[in-house]
């Protein structure tokens, strides 16, 4: 049995733009929670803004705070009432736990919990509203973790959340077997959306982006790439599809102007899923009439409700490769270097992993 220490190392946010490596007490699981030894935690695109304090008062709502939500590890202690997990289970976590009682939670849409941010209701958003996984140990609700088989490494398991986010966005619209899908934004979510679209039957996947990540997308499986700094992506997609347009478009960047581009490059009766999270300042006029006349379906996509287990199964079965997206690994002591590599995309960084305990 794993010996659980009294204190642990954690990256602690002490104020907006201020953080340090500290020793803090190991948290204790309450009813229906588990304590896990964190073996890998991946840096997410939302983490730098949380570290920099751009969303202070919301994400996080208080200081000191421990961020981090893309993680995998080993269960080392069970809270009262946990029956679906055992000590020693290898698990990957997702960040959202709904209250379980509101109309959205009861419909399975717990990432849209009506009691968001109200911890007394039972809601949790780990790494954003509630302490997360940039630490040697972390507590999570038992229904937010998914078992991972021995054939899936902890580093791969930490990408389960990213893969599940992409999968949810694709499931909202579906994929046309034999059709053409366009992905805007070759970040980790876009790259995994690209691979999932192909696994789900798309005959052609076109990636729209720029610079090193666009080059990476071609190496990692895109059928065609479009550099928006050099050409008009709408015109190119229309040309590739002989004027028809794409069956589905997945916006994974959150950049200004890409919603309109998506509308203009999708076919009549086509579908658009918005996975990228724009800044609050992004406001965009859209071709309203075309949306109506062409019956274009547009949906937002929030996190990964009920998709984590399917993403893990696809990784385990070899149907979804995430290993080659992991470009860097660092110890918890080197978290500052890890953030720098991720933020500045050094050395072709895609997914950067921090290993808070022993290396895998």
Same domain, 236 and 197: yes
Residues 238 and 270 in one domain: yes
* 313 inside domain: no
Task: Output phi, psi for 70, to 5 deg.
Answer: -105, 95
Tell me which residue of 108, 33, 95 sits closest to 60, measured CA to CA. Answer: 95
Eight-state DSSP code of residue 56 = T
CA distance 294 to 252: 22
- What is the reported pLDDT for 224? 98
- Residue with the two structure tokens 């274009």: 296
Cβ neighbour number for residue 259 with a 10 Å cutoff: 23
- Tell me the C-alpha distance between 201 and 165, whole Å: 18
Q: For the chain, which residues score pLDDT lower than 70? A: 1-2
User: Residues 35, 102: one domain?
Assistant: yes
Taking Cα atoms as reference points, which of 137, 118, 145 lies closest to residue 304?
A: 145
- pLDDT tens, 185-210? 999 999 999 999 999 999 999 999 99
Same structural domain for residues 210 and 106?
A: no
- Indicate if 103 and 47 belong to the same structural domain: yes
Please provide the DSSP assignment of 229-294 as one string.
TTS-HHHHHHHHTTTS-EEEEEE-S--TTHHHHHHHHEEEEEEEEE-S---TT------HHHHHHT
Residue 277 shares a structural domain with residue 334: no
Whether residues 242 and 225 fall in one domain: yes
Question: What's the total number of domains in the chain?
Answer: 2
> Is residue 2 included in any domain, yes or no?
no
310 lies in a domain? Answer: no
SS3 65: strand
On whether both 155 and 21 belong to a single domain, the answer is: yes
Q: What is the pLDDT of residues 129-139, one digit of tens each?
A: 999 999 999 99
CATH number at residue 106: 3.90.180.10
CA distance 250 to 169: 8
Regarding whether 344 and 280 lie in a shared domain, the answer is no
Query: Other C-beta atoms within 10 Å of 342: how many?
Result: 24
Q: Are residues 243 and 291 in the same domain?
A: yes
- Residue 196's CATH number: 3.40.50.720
58: left (phi over 0), alpha (psi -120 to 50) or beta: alpha
Q: Which helix (H) or strand (E) holds 13?
A: strand 7-15
For residues 253 and 190, state if they share a domain. Answer: yes
Per DSSP, what are the bridge partners of residue 353? Answer: 42, 329
Number of H helices, E strands in the chain: 11, 17
Q: Residue 316: inside a domain, yes or no?
A: no
Q: Cβ distance 98 to 117 under 8 Å?
A: no
This prediction's pTM: 0.97
Token pair recorded at residue 338: 């890890």
CB atoms within 10 A of CB 206: 25
- Residue pair 159/146 in contact (Cβ under 8 Å)? The answer is no
Determine the structural domain holding residue 50 and report its residue range. 7-159+322-355
Residues 81 and 200 in one domain: no
Number of C-beta neighbours around residue 360 at 10 A = 13
């Amino acid at each position: 049995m794993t010996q659980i220490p009294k204190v642990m190392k954690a990256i602690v946010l002490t104020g907006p733009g201020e953080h340090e490596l500290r020793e803090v007490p190991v948290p204790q699981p309450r009813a229906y929670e588990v304590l896990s030894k964190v073996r890998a935690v991946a840096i997410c695109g939302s983490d730098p803004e949380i570290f920099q304090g751009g969303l202070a008062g919301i994400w996080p709502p208080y200081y000191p705070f421990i961020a981090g939500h893309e993680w995998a590890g080993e269960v080392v202690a069970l809270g009262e009432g946990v029956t679906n997990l055992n000590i020693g289970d290898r698990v990957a976590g997702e960040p959202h736990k709904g209250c379980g009682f509101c109309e959205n939670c009861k419909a399975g849409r717990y990432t849209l919990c009506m009691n968001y941010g109200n911890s007394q209701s039972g809601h949790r958003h780990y790494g954003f509203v509630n302490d997360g996984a940039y630490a040697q140990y972390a507590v999570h609700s038992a229904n937010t973790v998914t078992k991972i088989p021995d054939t899936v490494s902890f580093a791969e398991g930490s990408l389960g959340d990213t893969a599940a986010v992409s999968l949810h966005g694709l499931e909202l619209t579906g994929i046309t077997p034999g059709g053409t899908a366009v992905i805007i934004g070759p970040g980790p979510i876009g790259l995994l959306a690209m691979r999932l679209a192909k696994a789900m039957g798309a005959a052609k996947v076109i990636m729209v982006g720029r610079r090193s990540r666009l080059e990476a997308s071609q190496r990692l499986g895109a059928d065609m790439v479009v550099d928006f700094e050099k050409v008009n992506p709408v015109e190119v997609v229309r040309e590739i599809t002989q004027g028809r347009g794409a069956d589905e478009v997945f916006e994974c960047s959150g950049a200004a102007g890409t919603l309109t581009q998506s509308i203009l490059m999708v076919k009549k009766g086509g579908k658009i899923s918005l996975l990228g999270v724009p800044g609050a300042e992004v406001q965009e006029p859209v071709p309203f009439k075309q949306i109506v006349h062409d019956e274009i379906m547009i949906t937002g996509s929030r996190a990964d409700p009920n998709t984590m287990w399917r993403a893990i199964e696809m990784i385990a079965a070899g149907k979804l490769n995430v290993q080659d997206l992991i470009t860097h690994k660092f110890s918890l002591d080197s978290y500052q270097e890890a953030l720098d590599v991720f933020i500045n995309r050094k050395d072709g960084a895609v997914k950067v992993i921090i290993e808070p305990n022993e290396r895998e």
